[in-house]
Structure 1
């Protein structure tokens, strides 16, 4: 496989050949560089714990905290003043069947995940929230409810985030240090607030395939990137993918990242929602996918708080 440097050199030769073949407008000719050592190369990096590829799994605990008549698979044609009763049962499936089934599956696979918990959903189903933590999974904050966060004032947003953290702490005893905004739509002040409240990382970023560090309020703060490419609410619910399509897409993502991970630190993110990822066919799909992944040397599944700490402790981590 040719390197980026070889590709760039080859491109230069092709350009030269084109010049010999005939006149080219001056505006179309790039200024040549004489320092070939300055050609960009792929950055080489590794996970400090020896992993080749790290898999980061999210499980959203949202059902029970949704607003009345929230979006659902049913036509959005309810008349005002009436409750969408079948839609409510779709959400109830998330905590009655979905999360319990996923928890059993994670246990059988030996995988630890990060659960992004809406505070009001936790208060409605405290035993289930506590079980998630007792099974060794991370509880991360996901707001107090489904309110639009980016429109809030600084103080209102700070209270909104803290209320969600307090609900998780009250029920599970776990202090959340990771954050996920509703639909990733954080506001201009969100990271500053998270840093003030003692958070270590957030996930509302799609810009990389590995964690990175940035300065917030003059201190290190980690981004553990999220995904919409390997996300059940986008693919299964949003695009009506079959489980076969979901498996194929996620497997292709894994294969490419595993290949890149020979030389570069790579993280793969996969996301499941309580009422979608916890259905029988999706749990079977997940079992097939994770069994395949675990057959590859150097693959490790980590909670997002573990990934954030690895990133902070590694002086080769990307800083922005």
Structure 2
């Protein structure tokens, strides 16, 4: 199969070969490069395709009268009590149900935790880590950090990390800004605070390495195509529609993974992905994915580490 990436590399090699020796245009160097390209499609651990699952832990950290399925028509000065219960569902029912589902399928996920949500529900945050999942930072609250001055943003990020550490004992090395909207200083701050990756990027279907403060830093791409808050709440998808969308994404990426490194990202939010219908749909989806050879499920810190250690990782 000829892919665009292979075509570009092969075209460059062919041109060089023609200039050097027209008679040997399609000789051994080209074949050797094709073999080299085929070895670069595999992940460092030999996986064909890696599935990255996110479980957002946000409920309890939301601002007063935060957006919800209810009409945004509350008069000022009043509390939206029904909306509060919608968020409460996330930590009372949603995350516990999802945790049982991950155990059922033997997979580990990354939980992006809002610091104030962790402090409100410490036992649940601790349980997530004790059950083998990654605790990643998601800010101290739902503030728009992109508008913060440097020092304020650094304190904001560190406060979230400290909350996670104090409750779970886990040191977060991955970051997700509110609605992915980081600021001009965010990556520099993350590098200074000891993070190894961030996910606020939609530009690829595989991790890649960038330079931040003249050091390697990993981007583990996120998704809005396979994201329950975008599809279920934003577009009013049914659980069946969500299943079919993610399945189609997986099928295409799995086909591509024969020739290049691929990552499937799926994102769930505590009060949405943890509903009975969504967990049942997710269970069926995981069963389908697990039937395919070479597919592995990894936490995002594992993906970032593997990308940093892989000399064939894309660098930008």
Scaled by the length of structure 2, the TM-score of the pair is 0.90
Which of 73, 84, 89 aligns to 1:88? It is 84
Task: Return the alpha-carbon distance in structure 1 between the equivalents of residues 79 and 133 of structure 2.
Answer: 35
Matched, 1:172 2:168: yes
Residue 7 (structure 1) shift: 9.1
Structure (1 or 2) with the greater helix fraction = 2
Task: Return the alpha-carbon distance in structure 2 between the equivalents of residues 206 and 194 of structure 1.
Answer: 19
Deviations 1:266-305 (A, max 9, x none): 0110000000000000000100000000000000000000
Task: Return the alpha-carbon distance in structure 2 between the equivalents of residues 86 and 96 of structure 1.
Answer: 15
Name segments (4+ residues, structure 1) moved above 2 Å: 1-8, 34-38
What count of residue pairs does the alignment treat as equivalent? 293
Which of 62, 70, 79 aligns to 1:74? It is 70
| Aligned residue number for residue 204 of structure 2 | 208
Task: Return the alpha-carbon distance in structure 2 between the equivalents of residues 176 and 161 of structure 1.
Answer: 11
Matched, 1:289 2:295: no
Matched, 1:272 2:268: yes
Task: Return the alpha-carbon distance in structure 2 between the equivalents of residues 112 and 198 of structure 1.
Answer: 23
Gap change, CA 1:84 and 1:260, over 3 Å in 2: same
Which of 145, 149, 152 aligns to 2:148? It is 152
- Which runs of structure 2 are paired with 1:1-320 in the superposition (5 Å)? 4=4, 35=15, 44=38, 45=40, 46-320=42-316
Deviations 1:147-195 (A, max 9, x none): 0110000000000000000000000000000000000000000000000
Alignment partner of 1:150: what SS?
helix
Residue 263 (structure 1) shift: 1.2
Residue 318 (structure 1) shift: 0.5
Deviations 1:229-260 (A, max 9, x none): 00000000100001110000000000000000
Structure 2 unaligned blocks of 5 or more? 9-13, 19-33
Task: Return the alpha-carbon distance in structure 1 between the equivalents of residues 217 and 275 of structure 2.
Answer: 35
Task: Return the alpha-carbon distance in structure 2 between the equivalents of residues 3 and 169 of structure 1.
Answer: 44
Gap change, CA 1:6 and 1:259, over 3 Å in 2: closer
Gap change, CA 1:148 and 1:3, over 3 Å in 2: closer
Alignment partner of 1:63: what SS?
coil
Aligned-residue Cα RMSD (Å) equals 1.9
Residue 48 (structure 1) shift: 0.9
Scaled by the length of structure 1, the TM-score of the pair is 0.88
Q: Bigger radius of gyration, 1 or 2?
A: 1
Residue 35 (structure 1) shift: 3.7
Task: Return the alpha-carbon distance in structure 2 between the equivalents of residues 5 and 153 of structure 1.
Answer: 40
